[in-house]
Structure 1
Amino acid sequence: MPAEGARAGAATRGTQPAEGGPERPTRRFPRITRDTARPEGGGRAASGAAPAPARQWPLLVVLGTVALGLLLTSLDQFRPGTLLIGVALLAGAGLRWLLPGVGMLAVRSRFTDISTYGVLGLAIVLLAMMAQPNPWLQIPFLKDLLHVTLSNK
């Protein structure tokens, strides 16, 4: 009798079909995922005969530009450094959009990657341009909004 109960319990978990009946679907995730698809564009950016760094050149371009921007920022060049970081993310979005294979620069679907890189890159560029002192870009309603939220009245 215990073997029969164990088999019935396994059937309710979705691991084994019950005798003579269809397999009951389960809401649990399997322990081992075997069918996860790579993101589109996740193949190599160069042929397999090329050395490893050359196969991942889009990612290396973006990471190298970000590293240069971080270096500039650490050397007291805040605005050019952060602008370079934002431009690197925008370039990553452009590469993801234009190239069929971008290697490890592809993380999710093409739309998700482009929108994420683009929104973050644009936000960093705009914030770098609005940074004090002497902002390159002034948006009047933001200054008014700040005064309204910080007023003592």
Structure 2
Amino acid sequence: MRTEGETEGEGGAEVEVQAGAEAEAEAVSEAEGDPADGVTVRDAISAPDAQGKPRRTTRRFPLFTRDTARPEGGGRAAPGDAPAPARQWPILTVLSAVALGLLLTAFDAFRVGTILIGAALLAGALMRWMLPSVGMLAVRSRFTDMLTYSVLGLAIVVLALMAQPNPLLEIPFLDDTLHFTVR
């Protein structure tokens, strides 16, 4: 008669290995604490089970994340079989308008170029709000992207309209503030 620890030929070695694997799995199970035992794991979301798979998944991230979720609306703006530029047309539209604005600014049409840059950012905010999928134009959440694009675009347009010489927009309290601080 043989016990689990005894080996006889190749078949006996298999029995010994299986018994060792079962004992190790029980030790891991006891260390982690099975929910059936009434012991809870400190981080049940990321703690793996005996097979190495997470017990529970969530969209909330623990303190140290290993991966981040794609922003809402971050999918392709065109079907997957479309060529790469067609899939990313929203970001390419904004970048093309900004490039044209920078080119105009470089060729001494400062006000028109900077207004075009601000308008491109405002158009990006509008696309982020209206379109369900905007590809790489989505960086963060929809609200954060819209707020960032809108504030930056509006600031650039207002500053372009206030630029000297011959400003198209004059804000009196800013002029008074400048004269008060320079005196």
Counterparts of 1:24 and 1:111 in 2: how far apart (Å)?
A: 33
Counterparts of 2:76 and 2:33 in 1: how far apart (Å)?
A: 45
SS in 2 for 1:61: helix
Which aligned pairs between 1:1-150 and structure 2 lie closer than 5 A?
17=32, 21-25=39-43, 29=64, 32-33=66-67, 36-150=68-182
- Length, aligned pairs only: 134
Q: How far has the Cα of 1:28 moved from its partner? A: 5.3
Counterparts of 1:57 and 1:120 in 2: how far apart (Å)?
A: 21
Q: How far has the Cα of 1:37 moved from its partner? A: 1.5
Greater relative contact order (CA < 8 Å, ≥ 6 in sequence): 1
Counterparts of 2:42 and 2:73 in 1: how far apart (Å)?
A: 36
How does the TM-score come out when normalised to structure 2? 0.68
How does the TM-score come out when normalised to structure 1? 0.81
Q: Deviations over 1:25-62 (max 9, x none)?
A: 498515x33xx221111011111121110010000000
Q: Deviations over 1:13-35 (max 9, x none)?
A: xxx736974323498515x33xx
SS in 1 for 2:157: helix
Q: How far has the Cα of 1:134 moved from its partner? A: 0.5
Task: Give the 4+ runs in structure 1 shifted more than 6 A.
Answer: none
Counterparts of 2:32 and 2:164 in 1: how far apart (Å)?
A: 66
Structure number, greater radius of gyration: 2
Q: Deviations over 1:51-88 (max 9, x none)?
A: 11001000000000000001111111111111110000
Identity %: 68
Counterparts of 1:22 and 1:135 in 2: how far apart (Å)?
A: 67
Gaps of 5+ in 1: 1-15
SS in 2 for 1:63: helix
Q: How far has the Cα of 1:116 moved from its partner? A: 0.3
